[in-house]
Amino acid sequence: MTAHEIDYEIIGEEMQYVEIELDPQEGVIAEAGSFMMMDDGIQMDTIFGDGSGKDQGVMGKIFGAGKRLLTGESLFMTAFYNQVGGKKKVSFASPYPGKIIPIDLTNYGGKFICQKDAFLCAAKGVSVGIEFSKKLGRGLFGGEGFIMQKLEGDGMGFVHAGGTTARKELQPGEKLKVDTGCIIGFSQGVHYNIEMVPGIKNKVFGGEGLFFATLTGPGVVYIQSLPFSRLANRVLSLARSGKGKGEGSILGGLGDLLDGDNSF
């Protein structure tokens, strides 16, 4: 193995975190902001890119790290190493309610493709890059489903998802149509495309967007019931409309006025 062989435990139900046990000289990499806690004796280091050693030379490292800007991530990642004797633990938390999914890359041919904000952490040696769509139309119209991350190597990676998760095993030629934001990730054998929602009424009044993703097997697909973008849009919509404790009542906004809430 080129990646470090780590042990782990996922703890919690709705707000999970993953606890990773590191042997001496073992390490793990993580996105900035996911760190939760660690034992004394673990050294934390900020690295350029993912530190996998996949890209050689200064320009290769700059190009590899620069591509991460397209996913909205930082040029840098954080690495945690056990520099003392004995086993030590470090934990990383999911940023919003949902589930943490362990991905053993050896079970997926050494590559797993996931949403650009799904990656949480991985064993040192796993390469974290971006997966470009081969069709420009997906980037122009596909929304959050266009630029995706890819995990490559032979170690463990961890991704997080919102709400409840579903795992689908697609047979060769079997298709699954999914809202682009509800995709967590899929194995490299799955073909990914963007299709327009049929029917003018569906486009104008459907409320589900103009496009959805079509995933064609063979391969494994992970789906989430509550992508963070959907949750954020809902909260923002309620905040802009001024709906609060009177939402859903018969009186609605009039009830808020009678209750003394007259801020418009």
Element (H, E) at 93: strand 88-93
Q: What angle do CA 38, 39, 43 make, to 5 degrees?
A: 75
Q: Which ranges constitute the DSSP H helices of the chain?
A: 58-66, 136-141, 200-205, 228-241, 253-258
Q: What is the pLDDT of residue 194?
A: 79
Q: What is the pLDDT of residue 108?
A: 95
**Using an 8 Å Cβ cutoff, are 196 and 211 in contact?**
yes
Q: What is the pLDDT of residue 227?
A: 81
Q: What is the pLDDT of residue 32?
A: 81
Q: What is the pLDDT of residue 145?
A: 45
- Map out the domains of the chain with their CATH numbers: 7-240 (3.60.160.10)
Please state, in angstroms and as integers, the Cα–Cα distance from residue 10 to each residue in 78, 92, 249, following that order.
Answer: 20, 10, 40
Residue 113, φ and ψ in degrees, nearest 5: -105, 130
Q: Mean pLDDT in each 10-residue stretch from start to end of the chain (264 residues)? A: 88 92 94 91 84 55 55 73 93 91 95 90 90 55 62 94 94 92 92 72 49 90 85 71 53 49 48
Q: What is the pLDDT of residue 146?
A: 59
